[in-house]
């Protein structure tokens, strides 16, 4: 959901820098030799080790219908790989000389859990910003900003996120004049929960050199929109990144050290919830990930996706051109031989495929097709129920003015036809982008929330000739249709879904869309039954990154958020669990997944989406998603059987540790309050 295009990489960095003085401190993981032993500071992923005395998940079917079970097996780990899996009869651990023994003490191990869509850097940065989640009024938002400003007098900017107009008693978005009442003297910049809309105050506009009485001078914004009051002056609302980058681009300069601090702390906390791999969308951060790995500060695997604009910039540098169009870059790339293109990608973008020798890889590029449902900028086939895409300050169309200005175009193709949201790129531009990525051997991940956006993306995949072997990814898949699901299957498109979106959106989505769009809203079961390979993610910081929460939401689809103890969000008193959701408290009960299907999203599905499931791939490729010989020794170790009595067991389960490439990490037990 969050738009972190290259142009907004500075915005992401800006948030990190805003928060530098209050960076969340997370204790470093300390490798141990045994889940129960005292901490020691040595761990050798090459040494042989037998994992005994536990229950090991074994997949019986690795496609729909997924089926697996815990077995009383023991596992031999060596050189970062699983060397053997055999029945654990308790009578010895094999003939390998020098192999140490790790007693799991009855714990339950599943293949390492994998978040297939996440924004790691922003998650780390968000920890020390103004938390606007669960705000119930504009006054609540303002008071939190005021209190934060008073307690952080040295912050040049006040940055926050998490507000949603659906949860405010005013049922509208806050504007700059609202924020001015609470913080008039310092710039404020507040993201909506979806990160597709943001609001700034008057001081923020001035700090960004955006004159209130000369809106025409702001310049053209393709793919975004700026809100206006009825008198034609800006109301401080910015829709989509091309618009709010007018503010974020003026906010701060880059600092690699601060960015690395937020990435590292976020990854460590993610590992504590059981994650062993993430597919990150963090702008131009791949070099930072490699530096963290070199410094041994990368506890889990990172499959990085670069922004399409970064690809254009890499070619522009090679061409000696400033601001070339996609068409110009495409024509230039076609004149290069493949080896020269690959060398350019390696040197300029750090593009490298998954490998057993590194926890960092990058072979995918991100393109945005539309916005978000909550902001009513997702591109839908039928008009939103409330009419045109609105700034609900007055209920009038976003922009509040019948006078078109150069920057007020709703999208690059110039349309928000009949209140159907924003298509950020034209169909021809999408096709050109997909052709360029495919020519470069880069896989595609495309943000598409609305059914109209999904249709345009799939059509562009088809016209561009993106082969199924490239495993293109359609991220979010919130609104689809029967025809779109069939087309996804025909084109070999992966569905990247976010189960935690269901409890967030369940209370209001039917008030925004109807008809077929609502019929095919969040239809995870239908998609998987349709033969679409799916992976699961959180889109953190939009939702919490706990993989067990994602599994819970996929199985039960509750209409309210419930957090497992393993999420380290202390919302439930110890021993007091909420009841299993009734039919009335379940969003579309017929779309619930089985436990095995939900676990597959975060194991087999993650491996398929990262292309780490191919047993025929040549070395040094890495295999994930199973606990069996030849696969990487990536495991998540839990203290109970989460496959039985799933509601209670998933909520109560504790993460005992994780293994990544044969290296064992035992986790501290200090919860956070994210």
Whole-number Å distance between alpha carbons of 598 and 220 = 44
Whole-number Å distance between alpha carbons of 308 and 19 = 27
pLDDT at 349 over 90: yes
The pLDDT of residue 563 is 94
Helix (H) / strand (E) containing 660? strand 655-660
- For 201-258, the DSSP string reads -HHHHHHTT--TT-GGGG---TT-EEEE-TTSSEEEEEESHHHHHHHHHHH----HHH
Sign of CA dihedral 526, 527, 532, 533: negative
Cis bond before residue 65 (omega within 30° of 0): yes
Give the residue-averaged pLDDT of 585-589: 98
**Angle at CA of residue 44, ends 40 and 49, nearest 5°:** 95
The 275-281 sheet, strands edge to edge: 113-118, 275-281, 301-307, 360-368, 443-448, 473-476, 494-497, 534-536
Mean of pLDDT over the chain: 86
Residue 399: name the closest of 188, 214, 237 by CA.
237
Whole-number Å distance between alpha carbons of 525 and 538 = 18
The pLDDT of residue 668 is 54
DSSP state of 470: G
- Which residues is 586 bridged to in the sheet? 558
The pLDDT of residue 283 is 85
For 447-474, write each residue's pLDDT tens digit.
999 999 999 999 999 999 999 999 999 9
The pLDDT of residue 662 is 96
Give the residue-averaged pLDDT of 230-238: 93
The pLDDT of residue 95 is 55
Q: Is 277:301 a contact under the CB 8 Å cutoff?
A: yes
Q: Is 366:281 a contact under the CB 8 Å cutoff?
A: yes
Count CB neighbours of 207 within 10 A.
19
Helix (H) / strand (E) containing 422? none
Q: Is 269:568 a contact under the CB 8 Å cutoff?
A: yes
pLDDT band at 575 (very low <50, low <70, confident <90, very high): low
pLDDT band at 384 (very low <50, low <70, confident <90, very high): very high
Secondary structure class of 114 (helix, strand, coil) = strand
Whole-number Å distance between alpha carbons of 272 and 512 = 37
Rounded to two decimals, the pTM is: 0.84
Secondary structure class of 384 (helix, strand, coil) = strand
The pLDDT of residue 240 is 86
Choose the weakest-confidence range: 84-88, 140-144, 586-590, 663-667: 663-667
The pLDDT of residue 7 is 34
For 64-84, write each residue's pLDDT tens digit.
999 999 999 999 999 999 999
Q: Is 276:636 a contact under the CB 8 Å cutoff?
A: yes
Helix (H) / strand (E) containing 666? strand 663-666
The pLDDT of residue 402 is 25
Choose the weakest-confidence range: 447-451, 501-505, 617-621: 617-621
Choose the weakest-confidence range: 8-22, 478-492, 615-629: 8-22
By CB atoms closer than 10 A (0-12, 13-18, 19+), residue 588 is: middle
pLDDT band at 35 (very low <50, low <70, confident <90, very high): very low
Q: Which domains does the chain have, with CATH numbers?
A: 270-374+423-609 (3.20.20.140)
For 114-154, write each residue's pLDDT tens digit.
999 999 998 998 877 899 989 999 999 999 999 999 998 88
Secondary structure class of 654 (helix, strand, coil) = coil
Q: Is 382:311 a contact under the CB 8 Å cutoff?
A: no
Q: Is 225:398 a contact under the CB 8 Å cutoff?
A: yes
Give the residue-averaged pLDDT of 179-208: 94
Q: Is 176:238 a contact under the CB 8 Å cutoff?
A: no
pLDDT at 648 over 70: yes
Strand 158-163 with 188-192, pairing: parallel
Choose the weakest-confidence range: 58-72, 240-254, 403-417, 620-634: 403-417
pLDDT at 28 over 80: no
Residue 389: name the closest of 513, 235, 241, 519 by CA.
513
DSSP state of 619: T
Q: Is 249:439 a contact under the CB 8 Å cutoff?
A: no
The pLDDT of residue 97 is 61
Whole-number Å distance between alpha carbons of 658 and 633 = 10
Q: Which parts of 355-459 are beta strand (E)? A: 360-368, 443-448
Choose the weakest-confidence range: 84-98, 479-493, 577-591: 84-98
Choose the weakest-confidence range: 247-261, 295-309, 392-406: 392-406
pLDDT at 509 over 70: yes
pLDDT at 482 over 90: yes
pLDDT at 36 over 50: no
For 247-260, write each residue's pLDDT tens digit.
887 655 447 888 89
């Amino acid at each position: 959901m969050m738009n972190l295009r290259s142009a907004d990489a500075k915005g992401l960095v800006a948030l990190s820098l805003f928060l530098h003085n209050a960076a969340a401190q997370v204790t470093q993981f300390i490798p141990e030799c045994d889940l129960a032993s005292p901490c020691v500071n040595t761990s050798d992923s090459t040494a042989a080790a037998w994992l005994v005395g536990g229950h090991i998940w074994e997949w019986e079917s690795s496609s729909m219908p997924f089926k697996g079970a815990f077995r009383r097996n023991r596992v031999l780990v060596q050189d970062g790989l699983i060397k053997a899996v055999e029945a654990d009869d308790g009578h010895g651990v094999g003939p390998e000389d020098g192999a140490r023994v790790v007693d799991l003490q009855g714990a339950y191990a599943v293949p390492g859990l994998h978040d297939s869509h996440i924004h790691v850097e922003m998650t780390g940065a968000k920890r020390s910003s103004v938390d606007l989640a669960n705000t119930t009024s504009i006054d609540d938002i303002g008071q939190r900003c005021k209190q934060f400003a008073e307690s952080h007098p040295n912050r040049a900017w006040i940055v926050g996120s998490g507000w949603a107009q659906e949860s405010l008693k005013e049922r509208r978005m806050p504007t700059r004049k609202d924020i001015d009442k609470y913080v008039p003297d310092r710039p404020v910049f507040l993201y909506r929960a979806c990160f597709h809309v943001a609001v700034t105050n008057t001081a923020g506009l001035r700090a960004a050199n955006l004159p209130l009485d000369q809106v025409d001078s702001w310049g053209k914004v393709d793919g975004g929109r700026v809100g206006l009051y009825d008198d034609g002056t800006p109301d401080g609302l910015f829709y989509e990144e091309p618009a709010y980058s007018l503010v974020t681009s003026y906010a701060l300069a880059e600092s690699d050290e601060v960015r690395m601090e937020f990435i590292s702390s976020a990854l460590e906390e993610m590992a504590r919830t059981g994650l062993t791999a993430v597919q990150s969308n963090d702008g131009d951060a791949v070099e930072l990930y490699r530096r963290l790995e070199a410094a041994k500060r990368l506890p889990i695997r990172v499959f990085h996706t670069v922004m399409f604009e970064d690809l254009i910039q890499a070619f522009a540098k090679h061409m000696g051109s400033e601001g070339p169009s996609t068409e110009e870059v495409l024509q230039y790339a076609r004149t290069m031989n493949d080896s020269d293109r690959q060398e350019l990608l390696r040197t300029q973008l750090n593009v490298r495929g998954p490998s057993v020798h590194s926890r960092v890889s990058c072979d995918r590029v991100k393109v945005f097709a539309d916005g978000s449902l909550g902001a009513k900028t997702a591109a839908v086939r039928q008009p939103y129920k409330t009419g045109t895409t609105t700034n609900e300050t007055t209920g009038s169309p976003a922009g509040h003015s019948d006078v078109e200005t150069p920057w007020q175009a709703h999208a690059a193709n110039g349309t928000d036809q009949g209140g159907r949201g924003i298509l950020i790129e034209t169909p021809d531009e999408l096709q050109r982008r997909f052709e360029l990525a495919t020519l470069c051997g880069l896989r595609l991940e495309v943000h598409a929330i609305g059914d109209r956006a999904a249709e345009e993306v799939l059509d562009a995949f088809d016209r561009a000739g993106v082969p199924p072997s490239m495993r293109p990814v359609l991220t979010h898949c919130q609104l689809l249709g029967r025809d779109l699901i069939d087309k996804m299957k025909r084109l070999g498109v992966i569905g990247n879904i976010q189960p935690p979106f269901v409890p967030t959106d369940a209370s209001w989505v039917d008030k925004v869309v109807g008809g077929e769009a609502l019929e095919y809203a969040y239809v995870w079961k239908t998609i998987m039954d349709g033969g679409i390979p799916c992976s699961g993610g959180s889109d953190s910081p939009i939702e919490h990154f706990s993989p067990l929460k994602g599994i819970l939401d996929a199985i039960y689809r509750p209409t309210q958020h419930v957090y497992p103890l393993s999420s380290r969000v202390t919302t439930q008193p110890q021993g007091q669990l909420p009841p299993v959701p009734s039919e009335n408290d379940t969003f579309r009960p017929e779309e619930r997944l089985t436990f095995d299907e939900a676990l597959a999203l975060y194991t087999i599905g993650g491996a398929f989406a990262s292309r780490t499931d191919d047993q025929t791939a040549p070395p040094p490729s890495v295999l994930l998603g199973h606990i069996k010989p030849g696969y990487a020794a990536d495991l998540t170790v839990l203290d109970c059987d989460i496959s039985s009595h799933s509601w209670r067991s998933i909520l109560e389960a504790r993460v005992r540790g994780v293994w990544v490439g044969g290296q064992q990490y035992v986790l501290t037990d200090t919860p956070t309050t994210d």
